[in-house]
Amino acid sequence: MRRTMSQLMANASLIPGQDKLGVFHAGELYVQNRVGSAGSAAGLGADMISPRIDPRAAGIFEVCPHLFVASVQQLDDGSMKVWASALFGKPGFASVHQDFRHLEIETRIAAGDPLAGNIGVGAPLASLAISFEHRARYRINGRVVAATQDSVMLESLEAFPNCPKYIAARSWTVLAESPRAFEAAASPMKPRLEGKAMALMRAADTFFLATSHLERGADLSHRGGKPGFVRVSEDGSEVFWADYAGNGMFQSLGNIVSSGIAGVLFVDWASGSTLQISGKALVEWRDAGETKLDDSTRIVRLFVESCIWTQRQLPIKYYLPSDGASPFNVLLSGEGASDSEESLVTAQLVAMKPESASAKSFWFMPEGDAELLSRLANHRPGEYVTFELEISEKRVVRTWTISSAPASISGSEGLFSITVKREDSGLASRYLHDKVEVGQSFRVIGVGGGAAMSLFQKWNLPAVQKRDVAELLNGTTKHVLFLAGGIGITPMMSNLRALHLLISSSGSAAFDLPKIYMVLATRDLNAAPFVEDLLLLRKLGLLAGLCLAVSGTVSPASGLPASAGEVDLHSGHLTLEMLKRVIPEDGELSVYLCGPTGLMKASELMLADLQIPSGQIHSESFAF
């Protein structure tokens, strides 16, 4: 008989606590200092990493039929191996407990998977929930506090989200299910990779990396890229890949530097079969002038010691849409690279417009590959575009949210804009603000993502051509709150501009449109972007309410045009009382939140106090 949650947790208090360490251990700090991200990582770690599971993340666990975990195997000689494993089940088989400190996983482990022997009470265990379609992921690192044959309880010691970078936007559907549909058995463990396994890895756009630290325990992260980004030696004894730019905290590389071991997991998405590999690992650093791998000076090498192929035939069909590749994917170069393509799209800078004292919009006219041009012209509001820039003879890849409406409704023949705040420490933002000139051309290597920040649940071209606002806004609630901090307003402006153009060309009388309320928090009103646009949208009635919260010492009224009209000016930081004035008391509310990490955390706490369900809060961080 399956035991209850309280029964499973009865002995949890008997397990010794984790040593009190800083946010990062020595290995992580070593990598951060070598790369130069220690300062930003310290801020991110303090803001993002917590033992408490974010209530909003519970939704990711509840809707996915998969969960990926990392466990540590203790060998008889005192050494360790770390393994990454895949768990499958009906959506909801992994669920966050109401105390937001525990994750319960109800599934049978495949016979032959080392995970079965690695989950005794007190053992380190890490989990990664990932919604591929929405490019959302959440990590929980902790320890096992209870385990039965078909259930494991994980206590969170570190819980934190990750950015949407490099995630292939796979969708899935459940097929007819047999009673034994989720069961699987592994083939005998082997010391080297063979043909089928090597072919799977070389074609992969996704894998999962398990690492561990003696005091901190296990960790599991996602890795993604263009097919071919994982290289395999001809004899199957070594796997290596470039470490791409991420959040700069370097948990995985820090663990590898400290422990010298790693494990990887590859999934055959057609069947659900999996390949697990464990072995020794190291981080190879390449100096300036040496040949880079995919433009990276950091390379991870995994020396295969053990590998396991597990045959499955899941009742789940995964599929990758034609536009599902990540817009962040890096072009392959160096050893084993298959990329030789020229620039797919070139975007010529045709205009620049100041939006505030520190933000500027850059307007581009693209030309080149027809498919990518179509993706740009029909981008869903909220999506971002990835550029490849050359700055001081260095290749720099940066992604910015598109701030214009899709060209398919604006009649601008492909014209699009990004809006960038100048940061003193920002290499790319300083380059755009200080160096570029109208007429210059830049390479565009992708467009996509941003689903969390779109009012439009779909961007269907026939519906756009018909101006069928009701179909495009399918799923949107009666009331919408856009809550932005500074430049975090850019995805919201794309949404508002798209909605304005649709309505102005079709008329709104026939549609039950949501009432949209805008709250923009800024330190200085003169530095707040799009204030004039917001005032116009308020005057036109597209915005049902507009609130500007100015936390700096400058008078909020300074810089506001005389035509400000019905604007709620608030002097000081965003407060609960202020949100209460803005949020309507009746009707369901959807919240879209974007801005600096500190503002987002404070806003999430206030929204929780207002009892806004976590499933109705959509957010995106600019901290990656």
How does pLDDT run across 601-620, given as a tens digit for each residue?
A: 888 888 888 888 877 888 87
Report the candidate in 351, 389, 342, 408 with the shortest Cα–Cα distance to residue 369: 342
User: Which residue's structure tokens are 């620049």?
Assistant: 352
Three-class secondary structure of residue 402 per DSSP: strand
pLDDT of 472 reads 67
Nearest to 482 by CA among 569, 592, 380, 382: 592
Same domain, 513 and 412: no
Asked if residue 442 has pLDDT above 80, the reply is yes
Q: Is residue 435 part of a domain?
A: yes
Among 127-131, 388-392, 459-463, 537-541, whose mean pLDDT is lowest? 459-463
Question: Under a CB-based contact definition with an 8 Å cutoff, are residues 51 and 156 in contact?
Answer: yes
The answer to whether residues 363 and 398 belong to one domain is yes
Examine the pLDDT at 13 and tell me if it is beyond 60: no
505 in the same domain as 361: no
As given in the structure block, the two tokens for residue 496 are 């508002």
Q: How confident is the model at residue 550, as a pLDDT?
A: 86
Please tell me whether residues 122 and 148 are part of one structural domain.
Answer: yes
Closest alpha carbon to 575 in 545, 607, 543: 607
**Which residue intervals of 292-426 are DSSP H helices?**
370-377, 407-410
User: Is residue 7 domain-resident?
Assistant: no
Spatial CB neighbours of 549, under 8 Å, sequence gap ≥ 6: 519, 520, 521, 522, 570, 572, 573, 574, 578
Q: Are residues 159 and 226 in the same domain?
A: yes
Q: Which domain holds residue 515?
A: 463-554+564-623
What is the C-alpha separation between 372 and 81, in angstroms, rounded?
Answer: 43
Q: Is residue 148 located within the same domain as residue 292?
A: yes
- For 288-335, the pLDDT digits (tens) are 778 889 888 899 999 999 999 998 888 888 999 877 888 788 878 888
**Are 475 and 443 within one domain?**
no
Predicted confidence (pLDDT) at residue 467 exceeds the cutoff of 90: no
Domain identity same for 287 and 366: no
Q: Over the stretch 544-554, which tens digit does the pLDDT of each residue have?
A: 889 888 887 55
Same domain, 442 and 468: no
Residues 212/70, Cβ–Cβ less than 8 Å: yes
pLDDT one-digit tens code per residue, 76-115:
998 999 999 999 988 989 999 999 999 999 988 888 899 9
pLDDT, tens only, 469-510:
666 665 666 788 999 998 999 999 999 998 888 877 765 445
The conformation of residue 196, written as its DSSP 8-state character, comes to H
Q: Residue 519: pLDDT above 90?
A: yes
* H or E element at residue 602: helix 597-609
Name the percent of the chain lying above pLDDT 90: 42
- Give residue 460's pLDDT band: very low, low, confident or very high (50, 70, 90): low
Total of domains in the chain: 3
Task: Please name every residue paired with 374 in a beta bridge, in sequence order, or none if there are none.
Answer: none
Q: What's the pLDDT at 608?
A: 84
Q: pTM value? A: 0.74
Residue 341 has pLDDT above 60, yes or no: no
Q: Check whether residue 441 and residue 473 sit in a common domain.
A: no
Q: What are phi and psi of 616, to 5 degrees?
A: -100, 10
Q: Strand, helix or coil at 373?
A: helix
DSSP string, 493-557: HHHHHHHHHHHHHH-STTS-PPEEEEEEEES-GGG-TTHHHHHHHHHHTSEEEEEEEE-SSS-TT
Does any domain span residue 168?
Answer: yes
Percent share of the chain, pLDDT over 70: 86
Position 119 in a domain: yes
Measured between alpha carbons, how far is 291 from 133 in angstroms, rounded to an integer? Answer: 35
Average pLDDT over residues 380-404: 86
Planar angle of CA 350, 352, 357, nearest 5 degrees: 175
